[in-house]
Amino acid sequence: MSIPRLKPYLSMFAAVLMLGQVLTAQAEEALPDFTSLVEQASPAVVNISTKQKLPDRRIAAGQMPDLEGLPPMFREFFERNIPQQPRSPRGDRQREAQSLGSGFIISDDGYVLTNNHVVADADEIIVRLSDRSELQAKLVGTDPRTDVALLKVEGKNLPMVKLGDSERLKVGEWVLAIGSPFGFDHSVTKGIVSAKGRTLPNDTYVPFIQTDVAINPGNSGGPLFNMKGEVVGINSQIFTRSGGFMGLSFAIPIDVALDVSNQLKKDGKVSRGYLGVVIQEVNKDLAESFGLDRPAGALVAQVLEDGPAAKGGLQVGDVILSMNGQPIVMSADLPHLVGSLKDGDKAKLEIIRNGKRQNLDVAVGALPDEDQDIGTGAGKGVERSSNRLGVAVADLNDEQKKSLELKGGVVIKEVQDGPAALIGLRPGDVISHLNNQAIVSAKQFTEIAKDLPKNRSVSMRVLRQGRASFITFKLAE
């Protein structure tokens, strides 16, 4: 083929080549560059090691815990390594347990944030800076409920991180972690924000930031940065079925951590708002039984006697839809909001009661140090209910009502074949509400049971071992 005939093809090839180069350049520009962020932020990230004397029977020297054998649940992901077995002067053998974690300096005079579980039960805490120098740290205070600990090291003009606003963080935003996984100092991993406001088991007061940043043992307590180089969270937990990272990491929002650290610095302890209720999730069936358009809110399953909620007029069966203008979509949203308040603060609650919306103003109290337990007992005077439910119930006596903080209700004495058995009711369970009506006696319970609607969700409030919850069921034709 002659050169003139090739020219159009050569021109087309050159154009395609140039387009490919442009697209490649654009793709490279679209990917984030973390180098400047890491250079600026790394000096303020520290390695934290602790020492704790353990009895001789704990773990053989030099043996590493077997993560594979642990239950596949959320876990504190730092490891303890036992390097030696020194003998005490008295001759009894002692071991020193060492834990590795991360932290970050939040002030130039030496305040350091980390996780509570990194320094829990430590006899000695060592903070190692990026220049390999080591400083002994003093424990200012800890808050196990949020897993936050505040340390103090002696120093001046120390490198410090920039603090961001976790409320402004958006799902899909790039984030970066710096820490010491498995003791490898200042390791950097990146990812995106997967979700916000996550609630994990046993962590009622932390609306976790979920990310897909690779987090491993030793990252615990380290900072999570946004692209501006600001700390937006403390890397705290992972979800794993293998013992290693599986793409689900959780960080404590920096707003929560700073509120905790400020209280620890000022008062040495953390105070939180308290309503005095037991709540549960509103599922589709409960929403139908309470006359809600959709499943949302926090259903009040129990109101503790003489608590702030009781004094403010909140009742069992109320569904809390919002607090101080903040919507309650999931029941777990409520503890986050209440916990952020202080003793005496006002909580404006929007609720649904008997199918109607209304507002309540409740003055929150201070969260007690320990949860209150409520007991239950057996009753006398059995009355068999309608065969439609299949339970035999009895009135509660005065002592049972007092211990359960109830004005009425019935205790199940026998469960027969029928709906009650299918939904898991047991002898000893206490029923305080049926079909949105408070139960005052076994006779009334039987009358209500006879008139229950068919093929529609019906709610029942049940107390088992002192803990209350609403359940639903349907009666067939």
Same domain, 44 and 90: yes
- Does residue 296 belong to any structural domain of this protein? yes
Same domain, 352 and 407: no
- Supply the range of the domain harboring residue 197: 162-267
Same domain, 183 and 130: no
- Asked if 239 contacts 248 with a C-beta cutoff of 8 angstroms, the reply is yes
Same domain, 292 and 317: yes
Same domain, 51 and 143: yes
Q: State the pLDDT at residue 28.
A: 53
Same domain, 413 and 456: yes
pLDDT in tens, 21-30: 655 555 555 6
- Boundary (domain end) residue, out of 366, 393, 426: 366
- Does residue 9 belong to any structural domain of this protein? no
- Does residue 302 belong to any structural domain of this protein? yes
- Asked if 260 contacts 270 with a C-beta cutoff of 8 angstroms, the reply is yes
- Does residue 34 belong to any structural domain of this protein? no
Average pLDDT along the chain, 477 residues, taken 10 residues at a time: 59 68 58 91 94 59 43 41 45 60 95 94 92 93 94 94 95 95 91 91 83 92 96 90 78 96 92 88 86 88 87 92 91 87 92 91 84 36 57 81 82 79 84 87 84 83 84 77
Same domain, 285 and 180: no
Same domain, 260 and 287: no
Question: SS3 string of the chain?
Answer: CCHHHHHHHHHHHHHHHHHHHHHHHHHHHHCCCCHHHHHHHHHHEEEEEEEEEECCCCCCCCCCCCHHHCCCCCECCCCEECCCCCECCCCCECEEEEEEEEEEECCCCCEEEEEHHHHCCCCEEEEECCCCCEEECEEEEEECCCCEEEEECCCCCCCCCEECCHHHCCCCCEEEEEECHHHCCCEEEEEEEEEEEEEECCEEEEEEEEECCCCCCCCCCCEEECCCCEEEEEEEEECCCCCCCCCCEEEEEHHHHHHHHHHHHHHCCCCCEECCEEEEECCHHHHHHCCCCCCCCEEEEEECCCCHHHHCCCCCCCEEEEECCEECCCCCHHHHHHHCCCCCCEEEEEEEECCEEEEEEEECEECCCCCCCCCCCCCCCEEECCCCCCEEEEECCHHHHHHHCCCCCEEEEEECCCHHHHCCCCCCCEEEEECCEECCCHHHHHHHHHCCCCCCCEEEEEEECCEEEEEEECCCC
For the domain that residue 399 is a member of, what is the CATH number? 2.30.42.10
Question: Judging by DSSP bridges, how do beta strands 162-163 and 230-238 pair with one another?
Answer: parallel
Same domain, 140 and 245: no
- Does residue 3 belong to any structural domain of this protein? no
CA distance 370 to 95: 33
Same domain, 141 and 53: yes
Same domain, 45 and 144: yes
- Does residue 393 belong to any structural domain of this protein? yes
Catalytic annotation, residues? 117, 147, 220
pLDDT in tens, 72-106: 444 444 333 334 444 445 444 455 657 689 999 99
- Boundary (domain end) residue, out of 267, 284, 313: 267
Same domain, 98 and 143: yes
Q: How many domains are there within the chain?
A: 4
Place of tokens 């959320």: 74
- Does residue 112 belong to any structural domain of this protein? yes
pLDDT in tens, 165-175: 999 999 999 99
- Does residue 207 belong to any structural domain of this protein? yes
Measured between its terminal Cα atoms, the distance across the chain in Å is 86
Global pTM? 0.67
Q: State the pLDDT at residue 21.
A: 66
- Boundary (domain end) residue, out of 267, 286, 318: 267
For the domain that residue 263 is a member of, what is the CATH number? 2.40.10.10
